[in-house]
Structure 1
Amino acid sequence: METKNLNTKYCVGLGEILFDVLPTGSQLGGAPANFAYHAGQHGLHSVAVSAVGKDVLGDTALRLLDEKKLKYVMPEVEFPTGTVQVQLDKEGVPTYDIKQNVAWDNIPFTDDIKEIASNAGAVCWGSLAQRSEVSRETIYTFLDHTPEDCLKIFDINLRQNFYTPEVITESLKRCNVLKINDEELITIGRLFGYPGLDIENKCWLILGKYNLDMLVLTCGVNGSYVFAPGVKSFQETPKVEVADTVGAGDSFTGTFCASILKGKSIQEAHELAVKVSAYVCTQNGAMPQIPEEYTL
């Protein structure tokens, strides 16, 4: 697989930036920023694109991103910086209470963001930041400005009731890679009327219907799959001592994306993504440092 020019192309996490308020304290998070951070640990020119409020949390978010050495384009807007109350069950699996009408619901499409879009080698976005019209239009405009060969990853990331069939369909039309988990696949099956199909056949159906290059399916402790035309990769989930699972899926996506951009095969990319996400499960918070043996 051809390696893209990684020195000039951005790997972009586009969407929400927020603070996960965990029982152990507040942690900076949001799937797109987590994705960008983890892709960056593999040597990519990563950048997080979102918006923050003109408040203490916004200042703190930018300071923490600076400390993590993650580049960002985050205009200040007249809305509060986003927060999420996170409750963990005894297995460390989170549930979320996501505050509404916050900064990342109001991401403007600025000249700086347009410049990032025009030079994107990869972009990852989800359904959550599309709950508001402002950010949804910014995401679509961003995607419209990406180069022809950009790797466009829709990490569907269904949360609470913040999605519609229309939002999902529009992003499926715009992506070339879909990342989804087994619970989300059941929801999609219900929304779009794919009853009676097993999980693999649902994945093949979606891959073909939307002409995707790849579909990544994660099934928690039951392993993960990557489907591509003529290709099926399966990896078991390693058994580890779980601290929490926050950010594990984003580390998987960031690692998988970086591996593909660096010319690895689907199988190789999948293997490393599984190792990294298992490691992240053993750490607190969404953005731990990855050991060198797990980086590209």
Structure 2
Amino acid sequence: MNKVIVGLGEALWDCLPDGSKLGGAPANFAYHASQFGNDAYAISAIGNDALGDQTLKEFDEKHLKYVMPRVDYPTGTVQVELDEEGVPTYDIKQNVAWDNIPFTPEIENIAKHCGCVCFGSLAQRNKISRDTIHRFIDTTPMACLKIFDINLRQNFYSKEIIQDSLKACDILKINDEELVTIGRLFGYPGLDIENKCYLILGKYNLKMLVLTCGTNGSYVFAPGVKSYQPTPKVEVDDTVGAGDSFTGSFASAILAGMPIKEAHKLAVEVSAYVCTQPGAMPKLPEQLLNRVK
């Protein structure tokens, strides 16, 4: 298969109650895409500090390719608190390395050969990284699949950032709470969930819209297609990174030519498995990986 897949944006450390774990949605996405045999890269920036060194060490141990320029800002950290059901809340430190990702010649070269890129709103909170993300997208080939995993966090987003990202992407991934926020922000709060999704799909000429609703299942909407999958009941360790594993496996399956409903089913099963494991980057079982050829 060997498609170039990129997770572009924040690389950071989730400081959990039981210790710090490497995370950040783009890195999680790239790691899971790499497990399906893709040529996957995490692209971000790190500081000239011990956490930056540890970041590269962990990526090397996980055999994940990366482009992580060193910048004069600290490597990103997030304080994560888990409730009784393992659901996280985040305190995301500002003015850190991933806010200042430079558009280097190496990053430009990867963009020119990219088959799929996943980006979010969080890494666009600062102009430097926002410019790099959009320059990367503009440099990709026409056929590159561009996924906007919206990932609204705290107050680190704006209507303009979301609109520009929707115009730049092929697939929007959003959860039910974020959909309510978008409905308020864009002035259509009265519509039901499905109509909101079809409205966004049509307005921005998207290929697909993926909606996750926690324990209430998930949907994929595309022109002429609606897929629903219930959320499996599993023993949850923590839910950190589960959504990124969904996106990484879904993208891998779609790029391999799998029909939407099959790709959706696989993504749900992968994310359910990740919920049973500690941290955002567990190794996936062969029986899941073998579903994508």
The two structures have a TM-score, normalised by structure 1, of 0.97
Tell me what 2:121 maps to. Answer: 127
**1:53 and 2:47 correspond:** yes
Q: How many residues align?
A: 290
Find 1:264's aligned residue among 241, 245, 258.
Answer: 258
Quote how far apart the aligned CAs of 1:10 are: 1.1
| Deviation readout 1:168-210 (Å, 9 max, x if unpaired) | 0000000000000000000000000112111000000000000
**1:138 and 2:132 correspond:** yes
Quote how far apart the aligned CAs of 1:263 are: 0.7
Tell me what 1:190 maps to. Answer: 184
Tell me what 1:250 maps to. Answer: 244
**1:39 and 2:33 correspond:** yes
CA distance in 1, matches of 2:24, 2:138: 23
Q: Secondary structure at the match of 1:294?
A: helix
The two structures have a TM-score, normalised by structure 2, of 0.98
Q: Secondary structure at the match of 1:120?
A: coil
Tell me what 2:215 maps to. Answer: 221
Matches within 5 A, 1:1-296: 6-7=1-2, 9-295=3-289, 296=292
- Unpaired runs of at least 5, structure 1: 1-5
CA distance in 1, matches of 2:58, 2:189: 45
Q: Secondary structure at the match of 2:141?
A: coil
Q: What is the percentage of aligned positions where both structures have the same residue?
A: 72
RMSD: 0.5
CA distance in 2, matches of 1:162, 1:128: 6
CA distance in 1, matches of 2:223, 2:126: 34
Quote how far apart the aligned CAs of 1:41 are: 0.7
- The residue type equivalent to 1:13 in the other structure is G
Any runs of at least 4 consecutive aligned residues in structure 1 with deviations exceeding 4 A, and if so which? none
Q: Are the equivalent residues in 1 in contact too, given 2:101–2:132 (CA < 8 A)?
A: yes
